[in-house]
Amino acid sequence: MLSLDLLLNAIVAGILLGGFYAAVSLGISVAFGLLDIVNIAHPVFVVLGSYIAYALNSALGLDPLLTGLLGVPVFFALGVVVYRLYYASFEKTGEESLRGLVFFFGLLFIIEVALLLVYGVDYRMVEAAYIGDSLHIGSVGIALRLLVPCLVGIGMTVALYLVLSRTFWGRAIMAVSQDSQALRLMGANPVRIKTIAFGLSIATASLAGALLIVIGPVEPSIGREYIGRVFAIAVLGGMGSIGGTLAAGLILGVVETFTATYYGPSWALAVSFGILLVVLAVRPAGLFGR
């Protein structure tokens, strides 16, 4: 017999986890969904954001969320540099399909090895007033270490949606994803627009990394666990759909938590990808894809 309390706690925990999943997947929604760049290194940028939050929290006592915000312009600049290298080496010559993928694989391992050399394989964690506390609404427990990342993830989703839909640069990014040649005829430089868009995608990793280390301890290779998940969320929500990313993150969060609660953690990711395949079989463009 199913326990109602256990079911409610699983659903709430899944929703909270889903908000965090959306935050981690936003960068992929921009890079893969809008720019058609298979940046499999995105999760390691998230982990890099976690370690920056850890370093500043340990040395200066800064709140990890504050360090994530402060790191946004730095990560944006890093994304600009990465895209310019990618463009000059692969996209400009039309060889971005396979060799570009190898480029991001190499980037993933370089960052991961660098973190291993500096911090080793030990798990690192941060300290903050809201980590460890919980709220209780009846029989439902809400861990603040999950609630805070969920709310920040939703805020990130709304902010990115407004940037893409209400600003000149955002509309240019949407336009370059649809027809870069038409954008060029209107006097805009598609490469410059893509550079800004990719920088924006990497910028989201700074705050997402801070959320990751708030939820739990991290080690350098933890980003590998999210490679398949973030792409699944981006595809399930609909390529380039920011709102769809949030919806897909919430769906996968609830499904994984429910599965882990009743059938064991080993089944959680398999069931999530099974749902992805079913949805794509019925709606190949994803939930909110055109």
Per-residue pLDDT tens digits for 244-274? 999 999 999 999 898 888 887 778 778 777 8
Stretch (H or E) spanning 136: strand 134-137
What DSSP element (H or E) covers 141? strand 140-143
Give pLDDT tens digits for 193-220.
999 999 999 999 999 999 999 999 999 9
Residue at 69 is within a domain: yes
Mean pLDDT, residues 231-250 taken together = 90
In a domain, residue 287? The reply is: no
Mean pLDDT of the chain: 88
- Residue 245 placed within a domain: yes
| Residue 36 placed within a domain | yes
Please write the tens of the pLDDT for every residue from 130-179.
888 888 887 788 889 999 999 999 999 999 999 999 888 888 888 887 76
Domain that holds residue 106: 4-282
Give φ, ψ of 241 to 5 degrees.
-90, 115
Residue 228 lies in a domain: yes
Q: What is the pTM of this model?
A: 0.92
Domain CATH number, residue 255: 1.10.3470
290 part of a folded domain? no
Rounded Cα distance between 32 and 46, Å, is 16
Residues 6+ apart with CB under 8 A from 193: 169, 172, 173, 175, 176, 183
What band does 13 get if pLDDT is binned at 50, 70 and 90?
very high
Tell me: pLDDT of 285 over 80. Answer: no
How many domains does the chain fold into? Answer: 1
Express as a percent the part of the chain with pLDDT over 70: 94
Q: Is residue 52 part of a domain?
A: yes
Count of residues for the chain? 290
Burial class (CB in 10 A: 0-12, 13-18, 19+), 265: exposed
**Separation of alpha carbons 256 and 13, rounded Å:** 10
Query: Does 288 reside within a domain?
Result: no
